[in-house]
């Protein structure tokens, strides 16, 4: 098996390491295994580096854009 075939095979057969869900404006976005692992490992890596974080079982992360304030003119 060539290096290219091995890399493609690895990506296609990759299993998620953890359950990862993404919702945008309340709508669940379907994620393939590669994207689930990418998001999961990236967030876990950042959170593990924080002081006071030891054993991680779950991470709840919510990102909300700041509401635009209406300014009187």
Q: If you count them, how many residues does the chain have? A: 73
Longest dimension (CA), the chain: 67
Instruction: Supply 21's token pair.
Output: 């869900």
Phi and psi at residue 72, to the nearest 5°: -75, 140
Tell me the C-alpha distance between 40 and 10, whole Å: 18
pLDDT 10s digit of each residue in the chain, 73 long?
555 544 444 444 567 678 889 999 999 999 998 899 899 989 999 999 999 998 888 999 999 988 766 555 4
* pLDDT tens per residue across span 23-39: 999 999 999 988 998 99
């Amino acid at each position: 098996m060539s290096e290219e075939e091995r890399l493609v095979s690895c990506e296609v057969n990759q299993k998620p390491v953890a359950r990862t869900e993404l919702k945008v404006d309340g709508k669940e976005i379907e994620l393939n295994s590669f994207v689930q692992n990418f998001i999961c490992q990236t967030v876990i890596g950042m959170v593990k580096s924080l002081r006071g974080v030891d054993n991680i079982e779950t991470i709840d992360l919510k990102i909300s854009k700041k509401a635009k304030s209406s300014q009187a003119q």
